[in-house]
Chain A
Amino acid sequence: MKDQVFSVGYRRLPGDRPRRWAPWPIARTALALAWRKRSTKLGVVLCAMSVFGHGIAIAAQVLAERVMGRMGDRDGPGVMRDVLRSVVGNVHATLATFIGMQMIACAFLLAMVAAGLVAEDRRTGAMELYFSRPLRRRDYVVGKLLAAGLVPLVTLVVPFSLLWLAAVGMAPARASQELMGLLLPGLLGAVVAAVVLTTTILGLSALGERGRTVGVIYVVGMLVLTSAGADLPRHGQAWAGYLSPLRNVQTLADAALDAGSTGMLMQLLISRPDTNPSVTLAVLCLLGLAGLGMALLLWRVRTEVAG
């Protein structure tokens, strides 16, 4: 008969406690800590105001054109085309501006919320406490990605979808059909921007030891890259456009707009943002930036935990 011990002192036999998803408590703690800061609340208010402002603009554009459309129905298809152009074109311009502005606002907010996610864990030694729990490295990484990723999701992706939905809902029937074509490119741009912003802030956070320093470097870096990417191509330095994550996102979204649109939609657009000449290169730059951020994060967690 095999020797067996049925109970040893306190020793409790392994129970059937369900394993809950570990990354969520990590993300929740990070977000709860960020929410305690006044600067975070201020950033959220600014983002909300931007969403609200763009929402008002889109609603006003659509409703004004709707009224004008009713008035112009008697005058034939030429007027209808002009009305359509102004509805779809204006909404497109507003949504494109929204993504650009929110990307900058989101970078500010991320600097407040996510700059210290890994850096402060290293500085305070909280990583040691995390990894004295039944936690794998990937749980920690996913938890931090989730905490940082929720910021652009809530301030960029979800509001974009809501604004688009509002525009489609309020627009006249023909215009709303044409507005459908803006969803995929816009959503693609918003999601790619969210991924790039999230991974780069976490990559920087993995390099630093103080959240505030990381945040300042991140915001300044993003502003410098964005303005260099916007100005230098106008002076003949086309390559500099690829330095700007915003311009690369716009290039990708614009390419998706071209690929998925009917000829009619393209004729209706009033303005399109400045883009880089090569979509492939823009995508590669975005992938490179996101990949670098992820690589830094994974490297840091690996070196910290492997001892």
Chain B
Amino acid sequence: MTIDAASVATMRIAGVTKMFGTVRALDEIDLELGPGVTGLLGPNGSGKSTLLKLISGQLRPDTGTVRVEGLDPFAQPEVFARLGLCPEQDKFYEEQTGEAFVTALTRLHGYGAREAKARAQAALARVGMTEHMRKPIRAMSRGMRQRTKIAQAIAHDPPIVLLDEPLTGTDPLGRADLIALVRALGQEGRCVVVSSHVLHEVEAMTHQVVLVRYGRLRAQGDIGRLRALLDDRPYRFRIEVGRPRALAAALIALPHVQATEVVGESALELTTTDLMALCRALPGEAARLGLVIDQLGSPDADLESLYRYLIE
């Protein structure tokens, strides 16, 4: 059996608009997502959850098309055999144990009772719930509930996993485990979409992001490359060095350096329109002046600054 080359992009969203009454929740969204982890970012009410609901077939777009592995998730529920959804809100039968809950949902994928139970146990073990899986859900902490929700999304081994705010309520250690789990799911070649507005958590999972605001797509791609595309926004760069004034005088002469500022006795901050050119020139200038650079970095080449520029 073979897969047609045209179906490699796991999800295709073309010209999708979704209205709720007079509110335009999504406006002409075009998006293609493939294997790996993608962070879906945006402030509250930006349309992230609506987008996930369209992908998971819970909503029908007013215009445009959504295709998941070539199928329309709204009209062709077969696609859900290959999709796992972890919703933001808790949607449990509180009296059930975690194991019974995940087993029951896994059975809906066509597995027999025994296989569904084995898969549920494996998924719960993968999210670190082996010890607590026989607890009633009502007695579980927020973090345990979150893990149980993720387990039901991955128990049937789906190639597509949609996670809506998966780290809500988890403790720092649990968060680190779940971040590692999401990364591992992506490395296995699954298409994982993580919706969140906790930027550093998304950054720890992936460098591929989709930014939405007011229902419109603001940016899509690698964080570093997206930042580089914002050439009208100069980079801030911080260098910790012994004689910052001397280095500042040398660097301000470079054509792409717009401004320099000495911070205290041992640090220099500058703005440049070309980060790569600065990185190439800096070692030569430091060597010429006989300076040793203790530390350097760009405080606004990360996801947070990208988000600030594009969203706020």
Q: B-contacting residues of A (Cβ < 8 Å)? A: 2-6, 8-14, 17-20, 22, 25-26, 28-29, 32-33, 36, 120, 124-126, 128-136, 305-307
Contact (Cβ within 8 A) B4 A132: no
- Cα distance, A29 to B107, chains bound together (Å): 10
Known: A10-B35, A13-B1, A126-B92. A134 touches B77 (CB 8 A): yes
- A129 interface neighbour in B53, B152, B157, Cβ under 8 Å: B152
- Cα distance, A20 to B112, chains bound together (Å): 7
The answer to whether B114 has its CB under 8 Å from any CB of chain A is no
Known: A32-B100, A126-B91. A132 touches B83 (CB 8 A): yes
- Cα distance, A13 to B2, chains bound together (Å): 8
- Cα distance, A63 to B184, chains bound together (Å): 73
Q: Is the interface of A mostly helix, strand, loop or mixed?
A: loop
Q: Quote the shortest CB–CB distance from B246 to chain A (angstroms).
A: 51
Contact (Cβ within 8 A) B35 A124: no
Q: Is the interface of B mostly helix, strand, loop or mixed?
A: loop
- Cα distance, A135 to B189, chains bound together (Å): 25
- B8 interface neighbour in A5, A12, A29, Cβ under 8 Å: A5
Interface size on B, residues (CB 8 A): 45
Contact (Cβ within 8 A) B87 A129: yes
- Cα distance, A56 to B170, chains bound together (Å): 59
Interface string of B74-107 (1 = CB under 8 A from A): 0001111101110101111111100010001101
Determine the chain A residues whose CB is within 8 A of the CB of B56 once the complex forms. Answer: 132
- Cα distance, A297 to B157, chains bound together (Å): 32
Contact (Cβ within 8 A) A33 B3: no
Determine the chain A residues whose CB is within 8 A of the CB of B87 once the complex forms. Answer: 125, 128-129, 132
Query: How many Cβ-Cβ contacts under 8 Å join chain A to chain B?
Result: 119
User: Chain B residue with minimal CB distance to A143?
Assistant: B108
Which of A10, A32, A33, A135 is most buried by chain B, counting CB atoms within 10 A of its CB?
A: A10
Determine the chain B residues whose CB is within 8 A of the CB of A128 once the complex forms. Answer: 58, 85, 87, 91
Determine the chain B residues whose CB is within 8 A of the CB of A18 once the complex forms. Answer: 110
The answer to whether B230 has its CB under 8 Å from any CB of chain A is no
The answer to whether B285 has its CB under 8 Å from any CB of chain A is no
Determine the chain A residues whose CB is within 8 A of the CB of B214 once the complex forms. Answer: none
Contact (Cβ within 8 A) B109 A33: no
Contact (Cβ within 8 A) A4 B108: no
- Cα distance, A5 to B70, chains bound together (Å): 15
> Among residues 37 to 66 in chain B, which have CB atoms less than 8 Å away from a CB atom of chain A?
53, 56-60
Known: A13-B1, A33-B95, A124-B93. A132 touches B60 (CB 8 A): no
Q: Quote the shortest CB–CB distance from A300 to chain B (angstroms).
A: 15
Known: A9-B188, A129-B85. A25 touches B91 (CB 8 A): no
- Cα distance, A13 to B4, chains bound together (Å): 12
- Cα distance, A305 to B157, chains bound together (Å): 24
Contact (Cβ within 8 A) A135 B108: yes
User: Chain B residue with minimal CB distance to A305?
Assistant: B58
> Among residues 1 to 33 in chain B, which have CB atoms less than 8 Å away from a CB atom of chain A?
1-5, 8
Contact (Cβ within 8 A) B189 A10: yes
